[in-house]
A and B are shown apart, each in its own frame.
Chain A
């Protein structure tokens, strides 16, 4: 039987007369990291506050490591364990370090509140600071250290109590890009070392995929799914595909073979897409496929193969170029690595040929 590090069932929460969470449910296996991604105002922080006990759900149940820590049904609270007794470590978006205490005292705070002996405090704080690589800053106060260092102190303060569940609320969002990228790697390594169940919320899709073993998308208080990354790709739904920025293309299912589903898209050569799960679709049925922008192959009209199209829009980024190409009445978004695009010598308005390298059959395509 699977043991869940955290389980959230039908959680509803209203703030200021507006329902922020609409019956959110998910379960995360013990020791795994789950990342929930969503835009600002989607209810991410509220969800973590409900799990931690800082907010009480209006309805629903929260269990940590198999024990129910919060339950409310029909307006009646059945269980409501206080935050400090839920055994959670919480890293807040703006760190919330105590500005008048040193780094050491910040990390020691939870232990001292639990009347740990001085020797235990010294040992465990030193070990936590060691884990986040900040031992030498123990006597500094928060205003004297950088944002990245504050984030690591906040993590040390959260893990020093050896929590059963770690909650992280966009801990990297206030940092500059390079610090964010290096800390992302450190966080991943820390999660692997600790093997603690962790729920990480962010608005950054890349961060969610990098840090989470399971990923969920929270939009306007609704969790559209929460599953492992491989399951997510295999059981891609329309809202997920839209959120991930995939192109949605109508097609007809020609057949299923060992490599996946063979599809006919109007104007294209037949495409085979992988099927991780058994498809419920029948041969001959119309379906919708999701095509990642980087799977749309663009080549100059003269040399390429595929369907004829024209570059309608062109946007340059640091690593890649995003093209919006039109064919017939349809449009596709393509992403081409910067260097590759330079070799193609294409510009806005140029005719091109398009081909699909891979695509996913939507589970809810009709």
Chain B
């Protein structure tokens, strides 16, 4: 009797643990393979390789810059969409989500056609001496283009989950809407915002296709870590593995630290 009652539960536990283990192994084995690929003796030489250092620097700078742009534009947008009912909201949502499903190559081509020197915007920028393709700014634009929707989605959900009556209470007490936003809305949405930052930053760090097509793969200028890995694969698998390992360590550290910060709130 007891066995027949606990039996199905045991099977469920086996199933859950089995799936979890399979998923973890599915991630851990490929990740570990990269670390096993790096010969110990070459670590120092790879670490001091100027093109590796430059790719790490460009990746960190551009993904961080992209995150700032994403937050600066994304927070007000998400806030606006979370509280206002506007005509054509569905169409706006579709456009905002489009880069999530758009193949990166298509995104890169679209950006290239929109910002290349012969395009309308490109001509305007050229007037001020700025040619985007082949420029680090193009890397930031490409990364922002693909990463923005992840942040806006997450931030919008975070804002929507705040009890609107709390904002009402704040408006009776505070003459400044910005004060209420800073002291009440932002802290209450912080978990969702942090999650959005992780997603957007991670997406920007891993950006490959759009950057390749729009900004190009110029070492020291537009070559980010994924682009460096792509180039290294043909000539030096160890260097590709080393850069990949660094990317993994940075990603892991950022996710772990932001989760820790969010969990402390």
Question: Residues on A close to B: CB < 8 A?
Answer: 52-54, 82-85, 88, 90, 92, 94, 96, 98-100, 109-110, 112-114, 157, 161
Bound state CA distance, A99 and B187, in angstroms? 10
Given contacts A98-B184, A100-B188, A100-B265, contact A109 B172 (CB under 8 A): no
Bound state CA distance, A82 and B171, in angstroms? 9
Given contacts A109-B183, A113-B176, A113-B180, contact A98 B166 (CB under 8 A): yes
Q: CB-defined interface of B155-193 with A at 8 Å, one 1/0 digit per residue?
A: 000000001011011111111100110011001100000
Name the CB-closest residue of B to A49.
B168
Determine if B188 and A84 form an interchain contact, defined as CB atoms under 8 angstroms apart: no
- A83 contact set on B, CB distance < 8 A: 171-172
Question: Residues on B close to A: CB < 8 A?
Answer: 163, 165-166, 168-176, 179-180, 183-184, 187-188, 265
Name the CB-closest residue of B to A167.
B172
- A82 contact set on B, CB distance < 8 A: 171, 175
Bound state CA distance, A114 and B188, in angstroms? 21
**Which of B171, B174, B179, B265 sits near A54, CB closer than 8 Å?**
B171
Given contacts A92-B165, A94-B165, contact A99 B175 (CB under 8 A): no
**Which of B163, B168, B174, B184 sits near A110, CB closer than 8 Å?**
B174
CB proximity of A56 to chain B, nearest CB, Å: 13
Determine if A109 and B175 form an interchain contact, defined as CB atoms under 8 angstroms apart: no
Given contacts A90-B169, A92-B169, A98-B166, contact A113 B174 (CB under 8 A): yes
- A109 contact set on B, CB distance < 8 A: 170, 173-174, 183
- B171 contact set on A, CB distance < 8 A: 54, 82-84
Residue pairs across A and B with Cβ atoms less than 8 A apart, 5 shown, are A53-B172, A83-B171, A83-B172, A99-B188, A109-B170
Q: A84-B175, A92-B168, A99-B188 are in contact. List 9 more A-B contacts (CB 8 A).
A: A52-B172, A83-B171, A84-B173, A96-B165, A96-B169, A98-B169, A98-B183, A98-B184, A110-B173
Bound state CA distance, A114 and B174, in angstroms? 7
Bound state CA distance, A312 and B243, in angstroms? 91
Bound state CA distance, A84 and B174, in angstroms? 6
3 nearest A-B residue pairs (beta carbon): A113-B174, A110-B173, A96-B169
- A94 contact set on B, CB distance < 8 A: 165
Name the CB-closest residue of B to A163.
B172
Name the CB-closest residue of A to B188.
A100
Name the CB-closest residue of A to B265.
A100
CB proximity of B177 to chain A, nearest CB, Å: 10
**Which of B172, B180, B183, B265 sits near A90, CB closer than 8 Å?**
B172
**Which of A52, A85, A92 sits near B175, CB closer than 8 Å?**
A85
- A85 contact set on B, CB distance < 8 A: 175
- B174 contact set on A, CB distance < 8 A: 84, 109-110, 113-114
- A92 contact set on B, CB distance < 8 A: 165, 168-169
- A161 contact set on B, CB distance < 8 A: 173
- B175 contact set on A, CB distance < 8 A: 82, 84-85, 113-114
User: Max chain A CB contacts within 10 Å: which of B168, B173, B174?
Assistant: B173
CB proximity of B83 to chain A, nearest CB, Å: 15
Determine if A96 and B168 form an interchain contact, defined as CB atoms under 8 angstroms apart: yes
- B163 contact set on A, CB distance < 8 A: 96
Bound state CA distance, A99 and B265, in angstroms? 11
CB proximity of A203 to chain B, nearest CB, Å: 19
Name the CB-closest residue of B to A157.
B173
Bound state CA distance, A113 and B171, in angstroms? 10
CB proximity of B122 to chain A, nearest CB, Å: 46
CB proximity of B9 to chain A, nearest CB, Å: 33
Determine if B172 and A88 form an interchain contact, defined as CB atoms under 8 angstroms apart: yes
Bound state CA distance, A113 and B172, in angstroms? 11
User: Max chain B CB contacts within 10 Å: which of A90, A92, A94, A96?
Assistant: A96
Bound state CA distance, A114 and B173, in angstroms? 9
Determine if A113 and B179 form an interchain contact, defined as CB atoms under 8 angstroms apart: yes
CB proximity of A150 to chain B, nearest CB, Å: 13
Bound state CA distance, A52 and B172, in angstroms? 8
- B169 contact set on A, CB distance < 8 A: 90, 92, 96, 98
CB proximity of B247 to chain A, nearest CB, Å: 34
Bound state CA distance, A267 and B165, in angstroms? 57
Bound state CA distance, A90 and B174, in angstroms? 12
Bound state CA distance, A242 and B185, in angstroms? 46
CB proximity of A80 to chain B, nearest CB, Å: 14
CB proximity of A146 to chain B, nearest CB, Å: 20
CB proximity of A101 to chain B, nearest CB, Å: 8
Bound state CA distance, A113 and B184, in angstroms? 11
CB proximity of A124 to chain B, nearest CB, Å: 13
Bound state CA distance, A98 and B187, in angstroms? 10
Name the CB-closest residue of B to A160.
B173
Bound state CA distance, A237 and B161, in angstroms? 47
CB proximity of B92 to chain A, nearest CB, Å: 24
Bound state CA distance, A270 and B176, in angstroms? 67
- B172 contact set on A, CB distance < 8 A: 52-54, 83-84, 88, 90
Given contacts A83-B171, A84-B171, A113-B174, contact A96 B187 (CB under 8 A): no
- A90 contact set on B, CB distance < 8 A: 169, 172
- B165 contact set on A, CB distance < 8 A: 92, 94, 96
Determine if A113 and B173 form an interchain contact, defined as CB atoms under 8 angstroms apart: yes
Name the CB-closest residue of B to A83.
B172
- A54 contact set on B, CB distance < 8 A: 168, 171-172
Bound state CA distance, A45 and B196, in angstroms? 36
CB proximity of A104 to chain B, nearest CB, Å: 14
Bound state CA distance, A157 and B169, in angstroms? 10
Bound state CA distance, A82 and B173, in angstroms? 11
Bound state CA distance, A112 and B170, in angstroms? 12
Name the CB-closest residue of B to A89.
B172
Bound state CA distance, A25 and B176, in angstroms? 31
CB proximity of B175 to chain A, nearest CB, Å: 4
